Copies of this chain bind each other. A is one copy, B any other.
Amino acid sequence: MADLKPSLADLGEDELLSRIIPLMPAGESVIDNGDDAAVLPARNGRIVACTDVIVEDRHFRREWSTGSDVGWRVAMQNLSDVSAMGAVGTQMLIGLVLPAQTPVAWIDDFARGIAQACEHAVSQWMKPVGVAGGDLSGGEMIMASITALGDLEGREPLTRAGARDGDIVAVAGTLGYSAAGLALGQAQRIPDRLSDHWQDLADAEGDAAELAKYAWHIYRRPQPPLAAGRRAGLAGASTAMDISDGLLRDLGRLARTSDVGIVLDSLPDLSNLELIASLLGKDEDAASRAAAWWLTGGEDHALVATFPPHVDLPQGFSRIGQVTGAGGEVTTPDHLGEEAPGWDHFS
């Protein structure tokens, strides 16, 4: 009987490209693609650019994440970096390494995940977001490297330098849920493995099983607050930063770059994260586990920003602390324990 599940080895490179390119939106470009390079609009004389890499068995596992989850995630990581500069994303370029035995269905699904991320970004920014080009290669494991380009719409970029004594520290987006989802997976307490079922946080509050589904979803499909970067820029934020290595580690970088101190004095209610943590062990550990997820879990890609004290926080932001003094230190309330490090890719 014929094998009905073709792998990459059954297709040529040209055939694969002609199959997946139409699955993704092209975004706005000056010339049609198919040339050596794309030619893209770049307004106001400047462009935002960043790169992020995702590697099989490091950042995702094929038994936990579908192709579209992986496409979504790598696109979101990059678009979140663009947003953190106060910009909106416009185009992505994708370097994709695939083992010959990769099922074609997985690759189609990856392209669909990128397309879904673009669609979501369009809904946040109300501007075209697409894929301008890329390159394919064989390799021993799946690896995707995305470069995202963005448009500041005439605004000045938000950087990590510029926080001042008295500024408010605020966060947009979820924090700790991706780390909670990963912990559920590692403990083999995955609520609904590889399901695409989306559970809204609002529906889940107070129900541990529903919250676990939500965390598992965020782990596979982070929901960075893409519109928050532009809002922060319009509101006059003094700094902004994507949280990718954990709140404490990334805030530490911001504090050192701005040469300020930061005191986290207004922590949110962590009871939802505690409910998830309670699924993993004894209740007495749940509070510290939840705090660790919130302080050191980075892969939600929340946005942290500082605002001058007179500014009304834009929609989606919640105050978590204050800029005070100098020195580059981040101080947490005693009950949250010692500063825990974030993620290091090699240690």
Mark A residues whose CB is within 8 Å of B.
8-9, 11-14, 16, 30-31, 34-43, 45-55, 58-59, 80-82, 84-85, 87, 91, 93-98, 100, 132-141, 143, 145-150, 152, 157, 159-160, 241-242, 257, 344-347
Beta-carbon contact of B45 and A42 below 8 Å? yes
User: CB-CB < 8 A to A143: which residues of B?
Assistant: 97, 139, 143, 145
Beta-carbon contact of B53 and A97 below 8 Å? yes
A241's closest neighbor in chain B, by CB? B36
A68-B124 Cα distance, complex, nearest whole Å:
42
Q: Given A39-B152, A46-B40, A85-B37, is A55 in contact with B346 using a C-beta cutoff of 8 Å? A: no
Known interface pairs A35-B160, A37-B150, A50-B133; 15 further A-B residue pairs with C-beta atoms within 8 A, sorted by A's residue number: A9-B347, A13-B346, A37-B48, A37-B49, A40-B46, A41-B45, A47-B47, A49-B149, A53-B145, A59-B137, A93-B147, A95-B147, A139-B143, A140-B141, A143-B143
Beta-carbon contact of A50 and B37 below 8 Å? yes
Beta-carbon contact of A85 and B39 below 8 Å? yes
A107-B324 Cα distance, complex, nearest whole Å:
39
Beta-carbon contact of B135 and A52 below 8 Å? yes
Beta-carbon contact of B41 and A257 below 8 Å? no
Partner of A135, one of B35, B51, B141: B51
Query: From residue A33, how far is it (CB to closest CB) to chain B in Å?
Result: 10
A60-B162 Cα distance, complex, nearest whole Å:
44
Residue of A50, A91, A147 with highest tally of chain B CB at under 10 A: A147
User: CB-CB < 8 A to A242: which residues of B?
Assistant: 36
Q: Given A36-B84, A100-B346, is A49 in contact with B137 using a C-beta cutoff of 8 Å? A: no
Query: From residue A26, how far is it (CB to closest CB) to chain B in Å?
Result: 13
A50-B257 Cα distance, complex, nearest whole Å:
31
